[in-house]
Structure 1
Amino acid sequence: MTMEPGRHTRTAAIALAVVLAAAGCAKSEETTAAPAASDTQGRQVVQTPTGDAGPTCTLAKFGGTKFDLKAATVGFSQSEKEANPFRIAETRSIKDEAAKLGIQKLRVTNAQSQFSKQITDVQQLIAQGAQLLVIAPLNSDGWEPVLQQASAKKIPIITVDRKINATSCGDYLTFIGSNFYEQGRRAADQMIKALDGKGKVAILLGAPGNNVTTERTNGFKEQVRKQAPGIEISFEQTGEFAREKGQQVTEQLIQSNPDINGIYAENDEMALGAVTALKGAGKEAGDIKIVSVDGTRSAVQGIVDGWLYSVIESNPRFGPLAFETAQKFLDGQAIPDKVIISDREYAGDTAKAGLDEAY
């Protein structure tokens, strides 16, 4: 599922020099708040593995020494601006669970959707003594500088919501997130149902350079090809996972493809931008069927209001599962190379019933 480059072997001296050079270039927020109740509503559920669950990792295999998670310095690197409800819920979940567990030194950074800043952010977290890193990667490639430095210090890295192209139980510990290919396949099933198996569909692609966009696209296309040859994918353009960009691309789409029947948006923000564009063009709710992925409250409300047909959830509440996984690792238990969560689906009556569970 991920590329397997060789393990990085630069010396700790070189890694430390790079870290020190980066120090001072990025700020981190240290959270020492009193324990807060973690949002248990909508808590992530791990899928039961079937067949080969993949390789596993233990503390002995990974290297390094056991430490007390409560007393440790833990770094969380957020990738994107917190204008997106997914990112807001994700960061809140990490902070709330850390407070609940009594972790006193949680340092949080935000890369503001700039990959170079995220690299610098994590380098500074390492320089500040982070013993555990939880990273929501902006891109899947380009992590070599961080991986070299973390490897030299035997710092376990848990990636959430997006993968990095590297070696598990070596460059990083594990990935926690959804099956993105399956999300695309399920979105295709909903689109096929909405269009009764025929029509023209546009895809609002996510940001390039990460596995989420690739897998959500491939899952959707392959399911349409297999199950609905009467559906033509006639338009594809990136909306960069952003509402404003989704609106702009949809405005172009309406002009260039006025006969479009459906829109597959690879996240809710782009879908909501598409709704704004359709309203501006004088369209009525339901004229063009929209299927998206995420499960934000605004998107689920869009189903209730008739503007969206269906939403496949991508649950951002990683705090409990991330820290539970870290503690199991520190206790000597075997950790799989990927921890895949189950995601619900909103459509029709289930949208109204599940509105309070959306984020």
Structure 2
Amino acid sequence: MTKHFSIAALAGTILAAASSPAWADKANPVIGVTAYDMSSFISFGKLGVEAVAKADHAKVLWNSAHMDVNNQISQIQQFTNQKVDAIVIAAVNSATLGPQVAAAKAAGIPVVITNLTVSPATQADAVSYVGPDDVAAGRNEAEHLISAIGGKGGVVVLQGPLGQSGEIDRTKGIRQALAKHPDVKLLAIQPANWKRTEAYSVAQDFLSRYGSKIDGVISENDDMAIGTIQALREKGLAGKIPVVGVDGIKDGMRAVRNGNEIETDLQDGPLELGMATQVAVDAAQGKPVPKEALFIMPEITKSNVAHYYQQMFVAPQKFIDDLPALVNKNLASGQYAEQ
């Protein structure tokens, strides 16, 4: 039986095709990524995003919000209007973005939250969270420092940006550890916003105000630990006052290796952000994805730093080349941080 199509119907079909985005082919999905800033962690993690996207024949639209929540809101709205296939968000602030994530969901665009958590209501509209157990990381680094100072003395804490989940959860873990040790006095706690330069200034202020009362420094990331170590070095105190951090970036591991930083918890940026990208691709293609892929960070000290440093920074290209296979293996096993 011959089918007859009206000119109007045919025109409507052509118009619909023309108005659809060029990337509507889910075999070659387009993933919009918005990250809070280009910190050392995010910059290194971007390599994992690119490696996984290449293996998946996906296109990545990358944006940094430069720690401005309004920038991030605009970026998510733009991705939604462009009808990308999925969106990955490392949030500037944990309490915002609810309306934007809800709008993306309403448009049929899966959202993956990574690196930093958002509010429960916002997370409910996302298909997955891929990121660290930051409470455990804060608790681990604090406990390591407390052990190093013999369970007594004065400590100072450098926080991430107030209101960001990494800061909230790592501070929570640090306070949990301190609560178990009444002989350890918290002298001061202040944000340095994940940045070395700000941490350098905050640490200088701490040293000026508290001097010899400081027995240890808890930094909520390695960049701030490095800034602190520089301030300590100028006073001849680097390696004498123990410093701990989180993330396991290159300079952080070097500081662990030379004894200026006694411990860090490895949050593998390429692995974590690469996995978030794979989950976004899978969600866009209608495949099952974990509602939560929680990373338990390996603890890095002088005794094991050589292994991780070799893997990630001496032969990084091999690690990046092997990353897509590792990501899929970990997603299948549920051992998300395995490396």
TM range (shorter): 0.7 to 0.9
Change (3 A) 1:336 1:71: closer
C-alpha spacing 1:132/1:328, structure 2 compared with 1 (3 Å)? closer
The TM-score with structure 1 as length reference comes to 0.75
Match of 2:142 in 1: 188
| CA–CA distance in structure 2, aligned partners of residues 295 and 307 of structure 1 | 14
Q: Which residue of 1 aligns with 2:331?
A: none
Residue of structure 1 equivalent to 2:44? 89
**Equivalent of residue 143 in structure 1, options 97, 103, 110:** 97
Q: Distance in 1 between matches of 2:168 and 2:122?
A: 20
2:230 to 268, 271, 276: 276
**What CA distance in whole angstroms lies between the structure 1 residues aligned with 2:26 and 2:123?**
19
Computing the radius of gyration over CA atoms, which structure comes out larger, 1 or 2?
2
Alignment of 1:149-298 (within 5 A): 149-167=103-121, 170-226=124-180, 228-258=181-211, 259-283=213-237, 285-298=238-251
The 1:275/1:169 distance shift into structure 2, 3 A limit, reads: closer
State the 1:193 CA deviation: 1.8
* CA contact 1:169–1:337 (8 Å) conserved in 2: no
Which residue number in structure 2 is paired with residue 5 of structure 1?
Answer: none
5+ residue gaps, structure 2, are 1-22, 314-339
Secondary structure of 1:300's partner? helix
Q: Secondary structure at the match of 2:84?
A: coil
Is residue 2:258 matched to residue 1:305?
Answer: yes
> Normalised by the size of structure 2, how large is the TM-score?
0.80
The structure where helix makes up a greater share of residues is 2
Q: 1:118 and 1:253 mapped to 2: Cα distance?
A: 33
Q: Secondary structure at the match of 1:262?
A: strand
Matched, 1:134 2:91: no
Q: d(CA) in 2 for partners of 1:246 and 1:358?
A: 25
**Compared with structure 1, are the counterparts of its residues 348 and 168 closer, same or farther at alpha carbon in structure 2 (3 Å cutoff)?**
same
Q: Check 1:69–1:160 CA distance in 2 against 1; reply closer, same or farther (3 A cut).
A: farther
Indicate the residue corresponding to 1:71 in structure 2: 28
- How far 1:75 sits from its partner (Å)? 0.7
Q: Match of 1:165, as an amino acid?
A: S
Q: What is residue 102 of structure 1 aligned with on the other side?
A: 57
What pairs with 1:27-38 in structure 2 (closer than 5 Å)?
none
1:122 to partner: Cα distance: 1.4
> Per the alignment, do residues 166 and 118 of structure 1 end up closer, same or farther by CA in structure 2, a change over 3 Å counting?
same
Code of the aligned partner of 1:70: A
Letter in 2 for 1:113: M
Task: Decide which moves more: 131-140 or 315-324.
Answer: 315-324
Aligned residue number for residue 7 of structure 1: none
Letter matched to residue 267 of structure 2: S
